[in-house]
Amino acid sequence: MRLISTGRHHATFELGDLQVISLRDGYIDMPPTRLRDEEGRPLPQLPTAVPLVGDNLRLSVNAFYVTDGTRSLLIDTGASNVWHDPTMGLIYDALDEARIDRAQITDVAITHRHEDHVSGLIMPDGAEAFPELERVWIGAGDLSVFTGRLEPIRDRVVPVSEKVAINDWTTAVPTPGHTPGHTVFDVDSGAGHLLVWGDTVHVPTLQFDQPNVSWELDGNQSQARTARAALLEILAHPNHFVAGAHLDSPGIARISPSGTGYALEYLAPPIGV
């Protein structure tokens, strides 16, 4: 997998015959008390390797667009304006910068139901962001999100309850824990695999080195921890890469075993703030 180009809000990679474009939606700041030990308690102390901005953790928010030149898939959609935060909702700028026509996106896959992943289906003015949208793939356990402002999308939702092929090169793999419907998307180009995950890891400077550290907002912390361990083991294989919603933008990396955890190597330098 190799980097082709970068911009302020996007980075383009080549994965065999596929093109993968990371789209930056922005960032969110969270208190470090969100991090939990195996008993569900806040960590007593953060390692010095974990940076803070003020007193908070700064989490990138990324989405990913994959295309073979004919068919395409957008994975996650950012926050739109639901958090009323100017640091978020940049995905539409990122799509424009990457010269991706929103009217050509027919398939969207959502890793899970939380606002910073699904809300971008609807723009701040209330219009659908993808006017030719035909299918939205999401874990069956997260279908409850399609009410209120997302209700107009509900008739195009495809629930994922087991491992299933979305197209010739993407497979949806249920990984419940963070939410009941949390799903990872395995993109297989023939030349390598890219696992696109949502909230498997929130703090990359900590949770690769210490995978047992969980997140307060994991609905089932034990289940989320188990899912993370299984995915990290897969990613340690040759020709496997990860694209993470909360890895430092552009959020695409390879991992390798290191001590009792894993080492993370980004394929491109950070973009944005």
pLDDT digit string (tens) for 28-64?
999 999 999 999 999 999 999 999 999 999 999 999 9
Q: Is residue 50 part of a domain?
A: yes
Q: Total structural domains in the chain? A: 1
Note whether 162 and 147 are within 8 A (CB). Answer: no
List the one residue out of 227, 233, 273, 271 whose CA is nearest residue 5.
271
Q: Is residue 28 part of a domain?
A: yes
Q: Is residue 99 part of a domain?
A: yes
Angle at 32 between CA 214 and CA 49, to 5 degrees: 85
Q: Is residue 122 part of a domain?
A: yes
Structural domain boundaries, residue 192: 2-266
Say which CATH number the domain at 152 has: 3.60.15.10
d(CA 187, CA 189): 7
In this model, does residue 91 exceed pLDDT 80?
yes
| pLDDT at residue 271, rounded to an integer | 84
Q: Is residue 49 part of a domain?
A: yes
Q: Is residue 57 part of a domain?
A: yes
- For the residues 133-146, what does the mean pLDDT come to? 98
Residue type, 51: P
Greatest CA separation for the chain: 51
Q: 208-249, pLDDT tens digit by residue?
A: 999 999 999 999 999 999 999 999 999 999 999 999 999 999
pLDDT, the chain, mean: 96
In this model, does residue 84 exceed pLDDT 80?
no
| pLDDT at residue 273, rounded to an integer | 58
3-state secondary structure of 78: coil
Q: Is residue 273 part of a domain?
A: no
Q: Is residue 272 part of a domain?
A: no
How many C-alpha atoms does 159 have within 13 Å on its Cβ side? 12
Residues near 157 by Cβ (< 8 Å), separated by ≥ 6?
A: 135, 136, 138, 143, 146
